[in-house]
Chains A and B, each alone.
Chain A
Amino acid sequence: MARIRRIGVLLGLGAALALVAASCGDDGGAAGSPGEGGSLTVYSGREEEFVASLFERFEADTGIHVDVRYGDSAELAATLVEEGDASPADVFFSQDAGSLGAVAEAGLFAEIDPETLNRVEERFRSPDGLWVGTSGRGRVAVYNTEVLDASQLPASILDFADPRWEGRIGLPPTNSSFQAHVAAMMLTIGEGPTRDWLEGLMANGVRFYEDNAATTRAVAAGEIEVGLVNHYYKFEVEAEDGSLPIANHYFESGDPGSFVNTAGVGILASADHDEAARTFVDFVTGEAGQSWVATETWEYPVAPGYEPSVDILAISRFVGPESQVDLSDLGPALPGALQLLAEVGMV
Chain B
Amino acid sequence: MPAGLAGAALVVCALVGLPVAYLMVRAAGASEGSWDLILRSRTVWLALRTIGLAGAVTVTAGAIGVAFAWLAVRSDLPFRRVWAILYALPLVIPSYVGAFVLLAALGPKGLVQGWLEPLGVDRLPDIGGFPGAYLALTLFTYPYVYLVSVAAIRGLDPSLEETARTLGRSRWEVFRRVTLPLLRPPIAAGGLLVALYTLHDFGAVSLMRFPTFTQAIYLQYRAAFDRTPAAILSLMLVAIALVIVAVEQRARGRARYYRTGAGAARDLSAVPLGRWRWGALVLSAAVVGFALVLPVGVLGYLLARGLDAGIPLNLTVGAAGNSVLVSAAGAVAAMLLALPVAALASRYPGRGANTVERVAYVGYALPGLVVALAFVFFASRYAPVIYQSLPLVIAAYVVLFLPQVAEPLKSGLMQLSPRVEEAGRTLGRGPGTVFRRIVFPLLARPAAAGMALVFLTAMKELPATLLLRPTGFETLATRIWTSASAGLYSRAAVPALLIVLVSIVPLSALARRIGVEEIRGD
Contact = CB atoms under 8 A, between A and B. Distances in A.
Interface string B154-181: 0000000000000000000000000000
A150 interface: no
B329 interface: yes
Interface in A302-347: 331, 334-335, 337-338, 342, 347
Contacts of B441: 1, 4
A281 B60 CA distance: 54
Contacts of B42: 342
B470 interface: yes
Interface in A256-295: none
A41 B109 contact: no
Nearest to B122: A222
A176 B223 contact: yes
> Which of B108, B440, B472 gathers the greatest number of chain A CB atoms within 10 Å?
B472
B322 interface: yes
> Which of A1, A102, A213 gathers the greatest number of chain B CB atoms within 10 Å?
A213
B488 A49 contact: yes
B466 A75 contact: yes
A233 B485 CA distance: 12
Nearest to B221: A78
A213 B487 contact: yes
A218 B380 contact: no
A189 interface: no
B508 interface: no
A15 B211 contact: no
B376 A30 contact: no
> Which of B221, B376, B440 gathers the greatest number of chain A CB atoms within 10 Å?
B376
Contact of B219 (A49, A67, A174, A210): A174
> Which of B225, B391, B471, B488 gathers the greatest number of chain A CB atoms within 10 Å?
B225
A266 B108 CA distance: 42
B109 A218 contact: yes
Contacts, number: 180
Interface size class of A (residues with CB under 8 A): 35 or more
A102 B207 contact: no
A47 B482 contact: yes
A88 interface: yes
> Which of B107, B209, B381 gathers the greatest number of chain A CB atoms within 10 Å?
B209
Given A69-B471, A78-B373, A338 B332 contact: no
Given A87-B380, A179-B223, A19 B390 contact: yes
> Which of A47, A84, A98, A233 gathers the greatest number of chain B CB atoms within 10 Å?
A47
A27 interface: yes
Interface string B113-124: 000000000010
A27 B328 contact: no
Contact of A222 (B109, B444, B489): B109
Contact of A208 (B209, B322, B444, B474): B209
A206 to B, nearest CB: 12
A135 interface: no
Interface string A224-240: 00000000010011001
Nearest to A332: B225
Nearest to B114: A221
B486 A49 contact: yes
B107 A174 contact: no
A26 B206 contact: no
Nearest to A71: B466
B222 A83 contact: no
A11 B440 CA distance: 15
Contacts of A26: 322, 469-473
Contact of B376 (A83, A211, A237, A337): A83
A68 B470 contact: no
Given A25-B470, A26-B472, A47-B485, A208 B128 contact: yes
B219 A338 contact: yes
Nearest to A237: B487
* Interface residues of chain B: helix, strand, loop or mixed (majority): helix
A22 B381 contact: no
B328 A41 contact: no
Nearest to A46: B486
A192 interface: no
Interface in A30-81: 30-31, 41, 47-50, 67-72, 74-75, 77-79, 81
Interface string B316-352: 0011011001101100110000000000000000000
Contacts of B369: 75
A274 to B, nearest CB: 19
B355 interface: no
Nearest to B490: A240
Contacts of A203: none
Contacts of B470: 22, 25-26, 31
Contacts of B472: 26, 28-31, 67-69
Interface in B437-474: 440-441, 444, 448, 451, 463, 466-467, 469-474
Contacts of B490: 240
A148 interface: no
A237 B444 CA distance: 50
Contacts of A174: 206, 215, 219, 223
Interface in B361-408: 369, 373, 376-377, 380-381, 384, 387-391, 394
A165 to B, nearest CB: 18
B249 interface: no
A20 to B, nearest CB: 10
Contact of A15 (B215, B333, B489): B333
18 contacts: A15-B329, A18-B326, A21-B325, A21-B390, A22-B470, A41-B471, A47-B486, A48-B486, A49-B483, A49-B488, A74-B221, A78-B222, A82-B377, A84-B380, A98-B225, A102-B225, A179-B223, A347-B211
Given A27-B473, A83-B380, A240-B311, 18 more contacts: A7-B448, A17-B329, A26-B473, A28-B318, A31-B472, A50-B486, A69-B472, A74-B222, A75-B463, A75-B466, A79-B467, A86-B384, A86-B387, A176-B222, A179-B223, A337-B223, A338-B224, A342-B42
Interface of A: 1, 4, 7, 11-12, 14-15, 17-19, 21-22, 25-31, 41, 47-50, 67-72, 74-75, 77-79, 81-84, 86-88, 98-99, 101-102, 174, 176, 179, 207-213, 218, 221-223, 233, 236-237, 240, 242, 331, 334-335, 337-338, 342, 347
Interface of B: 42, 107-109, 123, 126, 128, 206-207, 209, 211, 215-216, 219-227, 309, 311, 318-319, 321-322, 325-326, 328-329, 332-333, 369, 373, 376-377, 380-381, 384, 387-391, 394, 440-441, 444, 448, 451, 463, 466-467, 469-474, 482-483, 485-491
Q: Which 7 A-B pairs have the closest CB atoms?
A: A30-B472, A22-B390, A28-B472, A213-B487, A18-B329, A102-B225, A74-B222
